[in-house]
Structure 1
């Protein structure tokens, strides 16, 4: 049975995903903790299993600090709330542009974020993320780290 609270929870989680996209595109690394728990576990692909907000920030910066503008589009969001825990699945399309080259090469990553959320004292936070990549296209040198992972 859907309750008003579960709809409000779903809305907060959906907004958290949108907020995450803007954090990446604006490179506001200090704001990662508004979406992710400090003790999260994650796997973005080639980097394998990792833990902690510091490791997540390091991974994001490794790719996004070396490229120019980005746009992360998150959609087709499905959220299932169960009390103080939730799961979400969301498609992601991430476009990355070469630094200082507004008409130059781009690199796109397309996939899905599979997240586990917990209601914490400061709101809903992702405690587990698995990024599943469907395809990459363009010039991986835009990221200066290859096409193995990112999003």
Structure 2
């Protein structure tokens, strides 16, 4: 694999994780296939283990709270590419707020991802979310 290909893959995977955060913040559930593989597995304390795009999207829709918004800020991204597979990790701070008001809840997350190259580009195959801390404001 050339250095240029490796750099391009790492940039695309970093963009994929940003698209994941924006998908959550903007509640664009119909765009989930642009982020997740059809056979995605998501592991989180709130949802347990969810397998398959339809179940993941269903869980995200079900978790919506009327009038509540989120802002995900993702940092410390590390990506390792191995051919058509990649692993990544990141820290994320999530702010929960209502229009015009400061956050009423904030949480820190540690995230681990597995991605796969598909004909449509890189997609998340596995997401593991572990809460690090929470604060009610």
Q: TM-score w.r.t. structure 1 length?
A: 0.82
Name the structure 1 match of 2:110: 112
Residue 56 of structure 1: SS of its match in structure 2? helix
Residue 117 of structure 1 contacts residue 124 of structure 1 at CA under 8 Å; is this kept in 2? yes
SS of alignment partner, residue 131 of structure 1: strand
Q: Tell me the residue number matched to 2:15.
A: 15
Aligned to 1:55: 55
- Distance in 2 separating the partners of 1:46 and 1:70: 16
Task: Give CA-to-partner distance per residue, 1:11-49, whole Å, 9 cap, x none.
Answer: 000001111111111111111111110111111114211
Equivalent in the alignment of 1:69: 69
5+ residue gaps in structure 2? none
**TM-score normalized by the length of structure 2:** 0.90
Would you identify which runs of 4 or more consecutive aligned residues in structure 1 move more than 6 Å? Answer: none
Output one character per residue of 1:55-110: Cα deviation in whole Å (capped at 9) or x when no partner: 21122223334352211111110000000000000111111114xx6326611121
Mapped to 1, the partners of 2:54 and 2:22 lie a distance apart of 19
Bigger proportion of residues as strand = 2
Which consecutive unaligned segments of at least 5 residues does structure 1 have?
Answer: 140-151
What is the aligned counterpart of 2:135 among 131, 134, 137?
137
